[in-house]
Amino acid sequence: MEARRALVLIVDDDVRSARRLAQLLREDGYDVEIAYDGASAIARLARDPVPAALVTDLRLPNADGLAVSKFARTCRSDIPICVVTSYPNLASALDALDPKPMVFTKPLVYGDFSAALSRMMS
């Protein structure tokens, strides 16, 4: 009966935070994969199955969050994107993307974040 779990790709170079976020999301019913830099995130996006949502930091080693987001949109033009960043000021670079990613400033308040994510994916 259970619907197939949606796949969320987390991109963050802060390993422990990424793992903890993944764990919380899994408990809330998502499938989660983690990439620790921009390049591997792009490599993962190029493979099937294409994730249902992207959660990415902006500043990342080897290709930044903007590049990852743009690539994700080439894989799936309406993929919901959550940008989680220490530099919300830099998020204006994302204005070119349509639909616009949702921007969260670190530290992430998990309750607010998961509520927003589920709204975006529904």
Partner 1 sequence: MPLEKRVADLRRYVEFDERDAARLAAVRDALAPDFPRIAQQFYDKIREHEDAHAVFTGEEQIARLQSSLQVWLHRLFGGTYDAQYYERTAHIGRVHARVGLLQRYMFGAMALIRLELVRLVEARAVKDELLATKIALHKAIDIELAIMLEAYRDEHVERIEKKLALERQELALSAAQREKQYAAAVELTRDLIVGVDEEGVIHMFNAGAEAVTGYGREEVIGRPFIHAIVAEGAREPCERVLRDGTAPARFEATIATRAGKMRDVRWEIARADADRVKFLLIGHDETEARRLADHARQTEKLAAIGTLAAGLAHEIRNPLNGAQLHVAYLERTLKKANASGEALEAVNVVGDEITRLAALVSEFLDFARPRPLTKKPASLGALITRCAELAADDAAKASVEIARDLPSKDIVAMVDASKIEQILLNLVRNAIEALAAMQGGHVTLRLRRKPKHAVIEVEDDGPGLPEDAPVFDAFYSTKPQGTGLGLAITHRIVTDHGGTIEVESRAGRTVFRVELPLGEEIE
106 scored as a contact of partner 1 (CB under 8 A): yes
Sequence-distant (6+) residues with CB within 8 A of 55 are 8, 9, 10, 11, 12, 21, 81, 82, 84, 117
Residue from 93, 108, 116, 120 binding partner 1 (CB under 8 A): 108
47 scored as a contact of partner 1 (CB under 8 A): no
**Among 121, 54, 45, CA closest to 84:** 54
118 scored as a contact of partner 1 (CB under 8 A): no
| Closer Cβ to partner 1, 69 or 85, answer by number | 85
Instruction: Point out which span in 3-11, 21-29, 44-52, 93-101 binds partner 1 (CB under 8 A).
Output: 21-29
